[in-house]
Structure 1
Amino acid sequence: MAFKAELSVKLAAVCIAVGAAFGMSAACAADPVSINIVDVAGNLQLTQKGFEAFKAKHPDLVSSITFTNAPAPQLPGKIKAMQAAGRSDIDLVVTGTDALAAGIQQGLWEKLLPDQSKALPGVLDKYAPGPRKMQDIAQGYGLEVTYMPAGPLLEYNPAKVTDVPKTPDQLLAWCKAHPNKLIYARPANSGPGRTFLMGLPYVLGDKDPMDPINGWDKTWAFLKQLNDCIPYYPGGTSAVMKELGEGTRDMTVTVTGWDINPRALGIVPAEFKVGAFDNMTWVNDAHYMVIPKGVPKEKLDVLYKLMNFMLEPAQQALTYDDGYFYPGPAVKDVPLSMAPAKSQEVIQKFGRPEYAKLLADRPHVLPLNAQAMVAAFQKWDREIGAAKTK
């Protein structure tokens, strides 16, 4: 027994020495860890297979992965309560810009860059140009894992909408002429909702599209007028698409992925169309991997490896998926030809030829920064959706 104990000590010492020599955090003797991943963006459609591939490749590091879905607006409060209680039930969050922003503002996330640049070597150099700009939104607190030049776009039933709006004024006129036939989801929990919210200041010519409190006079006035002919605001985009597909509504706001994916899944009829405002500006979108503060060290070492793995081309190619976050990949040199055959078939069948021209012809901008986005959500909740959000 004494010999075995002595041998274990020597092996641990060798492990630590080797790790130190290569600048790594050695976990040779550690048991595999369980990882709890919470998704507040629908991102697991794009990344779950990649996360599972990491577990399959590294059984020495990961014993199990649990996947959970949660609404973005509720997550920051839940994490804050756990951290106050000294608990760390959530190891990794995949989020859109909504919960990312709220978590940055409330100090919930671990600082990854530049603090952990040794464990995450060269990650910023992996991103394609558009996604690289979106990575800055994370302010070092998250790593972008998927990317979409989003919208805002209008999706409609061509059998019911023949006079497709080309301006916000025309959209308002259509809505008033067809009350209860246009809806969109609460921006704080909807990619299309917040893209519409952030895209309007550019289309309307507001004073400062990046300042929702002092620079969006035209946007807030427009949304209050539009509110009069909208029956209610669903809590998420899925409910919107269900009502659109069932024929309860004739039009909604959308983004590229939320146009392609519900039609590919049969939730929305394939023949439904999209339109864009004449002077639209693309407000790009992304999903991020973030780590809540309080995750133990032995898990952090594994999570950093997992993040690096998810940015490899093979895992990024999986994010084309069924068009949910079109195109999907955030890193350079991951063409559609690298995607699974099913993904290629879906994009070829349900993608829009007009997207290429729109993406090339219209300008692209970043979404609001974390503080401004939270302020915009709060103002919308208070002044627009207060009485009608379900």
Structure 2
Amino acid sequence: MKTRAVHPRSLAGIAIAATAAVALSGCVQSANASSAGDDASNGTTNLTVFISGDTNVQALWDGSLIPAFEKAHPNVHVSTSIDLHGQHDAQTQANLTTAVKADKTVAYDLVDAGWVSTVGKAGLLSTVSASAIPNLKNVPEATKRQGGDAAIPYRASSVLLAYDTKKVTDPPKTLDDLLAWIKQHPGEFAYNSPASGGSGGAFVMTVLAKYLSGSEQASMQTSYDKSLESKWDEGFQTLKDLGPSMYQKGVYPNGNDQVLQLLGSGQIAMAPVWSDQFITAQKAGTIGKDVAFTQISDPSFTGSASFLGIPKTEPEAKKQAAEELADFVLSSKGQQLVASAVSGYPVVPLDSLPKSVAQQFADADPSTLRLGFQSQFAADMNAAWDAKVPQ
């Protein structure tokens, strides 16, 4: 059986665009209105964390980070607002741009979104430093550089190589080792189609990167020059040649979860997986303890940090409270909560955390994350894979 993943297109795009402005119309407001939420009579500062993401991230804030922070800071009240799955990301960023240009505040005080780095580098967020956020000094410089000087790294994840220890006693250590192992063990490896999930996308990017120079990889991570895509031909040929050695001779699962299900049921012995999804699945018992993970090299799989940001027009008093909240998230306690709630691995040195947490993430170093392709390159890569790889 040979399958090509189906990538559904939303038929509601026009409706979303039409309603986005209405849904987010309250995000831009005057400076006076923004501070009106504070209760001057009892010295309470009210903060809103804006989340663009999934419900698990909101649960991290509402169920873990905020209660712990408020207990230590009784004069600060924190709530959350979520744009589920980032449906209105473009409109949110446009509203933020409009607000900053007009020197207006927005209806949130701290942002947790995949676009924090982008808007930070565009000058829409306040720059951050260890003088205002002391625990920022504990974050590796390489991790901080990923987001720029206005982004606060607070958790990370990467794609790792998961393997069944009952079948694999000496897992591959490099990409070349992995490619050789796949051909030597036909049917025991799977990756999802890249457009259906980031773990498969990371595998494809990593194979393509094998044939790119360092400067070409750097260009594809930070800018867009379509002419560079001619350098992908050798990598796509390698991926096509792997087809007969894939699970069921060319079946590509649809999504990260299907790959985990194949691993958990013992139908395959090895696959690329997201670190946080794998650890969560193992905690839930859907992946057995006999399945372990490691990272390859030359090159490694891709990964990235998740960032927080403070809007540039934030009033000073609320900015200081938002910085205190970010500093708490980077504390040992905050990083333990992140690790426990969403299996995000810490961005501070593991030796500063309890041994149980350090052991859990010993093979996942956020300071060595290799960034993936810039979004336009990634979209082109997905389309090219669809056209060139499945047979």
TM-score range normalised by the length of the shorter chain: 0.5 to 0.7
Equivalent position of 1:368 in the other structure? 371
Is 2:283 the partner of 1:264? Answer: yes
Taking the TM superposition and a 5 Å limit, the aligned residue runs for 1:38-77 are 38=51, 40=53, 49-62=64-77, 64-66=78-80, 68=82, 70-71=84-85, 74=87, 76-77=89-90
The 1:380–1:50 alpha-carbon spacing in structure 2 relative to 1, beyond 3 Å, is same
Matched position secondary structure for 2:150:
coil
Q: Do 2:110 and 2:309's aligned partners in 1 also have CA atoms closer than 8 Å?
A: yes
Q: Is the CA contact 2:133–2:326 (under 8 Å) kept in the aligned structure 1? A: no
Q: Does 1:141 align with 2:150?
A: yes
The DSSP-based 3-state class of the residue aligned with 2:343 is coil
| Secondary structure of the corresponding residue to residue 280 of structure 2 | helix
Return 5+ residue gaps in structure 2 as ranges: 1-37, 100-104, 245-249
Q: What is the distance in 1 between the residues matched to 2:80 and 2:279?
A: 28
CA RMSD of aligned residues (A): 4.7
CA contact (8 A) 1:91 1:291 kept: yes
Unaligned 5+ segments in structure 1 are 1-25, 338-343
Distance 1:84 1:103, change over 3 A: closer
Partner of 1:155, secondary structure, is strand
The Cα shift of 1:207 comes to 1.9
1:93 to 111, 115, 133: 111
TM-aligned CA deviation for residue 112 of structure 1: 2.1
Counterpart in 1 of 2:183?
173
Return the alpha-carbon distance in structure 2 between the equivalents of residues 167 and 197 of structure 1.
16
Instruction: Work out whether 1:304 is the aligned partner of 2:323.
Output: yes
Structure 2 match to 1:17? none
What are the superposed Cα offsets for residues 138-190 of structure 1, whole Å, 9 maximum, x if unpaired? 11121111346x4x532244677799766353366379x439x6233647963
TM-score normalised per structure 2: 0.62
SS of structure 2 residue aligned to 1:287: strand
SS of match in other structure, 2:352: coil
Please name the residue that 1:15 is paired with. Answer: none
Task: Please give the alpha-carbon distance, in whole angstroms, between the structure 1 residues aligned to 2:211 and 2:306.
Answer: 28
State yes or no: 1:231 paired with 2:252: yes
Q: Matched residues in 2 for 1:368 and 1:299: separation?
A: 33
Q: CA deviation at 1:365?
A: 4.2
Q: Does structure 1 residue 210 correspond to structure 2 residue 218?
A: yes
**1:266-321 Cα distance to aligned partner (Å, 9 max, x none):** 12122224465575546563222124566666643432221122223332333342
Equivalent AA in structure 2 for residue 111 of structure 1 = S
Aligned partner of 1:110 in structure 2 is 125
Where does 1:120-139 land on structure 2 (aligned, <5 Å)? 120-122=132-134, 124-127=136-139, 131-139=140-148
Q: Does 1:33 align with 2:31?
A: no
TM-score (norm 1): 0.63
Give the secondary-structure state (helix, strand or coil) at the position aligned to 1:66.
strand
CA distance in 2, matches of 1:71, 1:43: 10
Q: What letter is aligned with 1:206?
A: L
The superposition leaves residues 185-221 of structure 1 with CA deviations (integer Å, 9 ceiling, x where unpaired) of 647963x45554554456x253233233638534454
Per the alignment, do residues 35 and 46 of structure 1 end up closer, same or farther by CA in structure 2, a change over 3 Å counting? closer
Whether the 8 Å CA contact 2:48–2:80 is kept in 1: the answer is yes
Match for 1:93: what amino acid? V
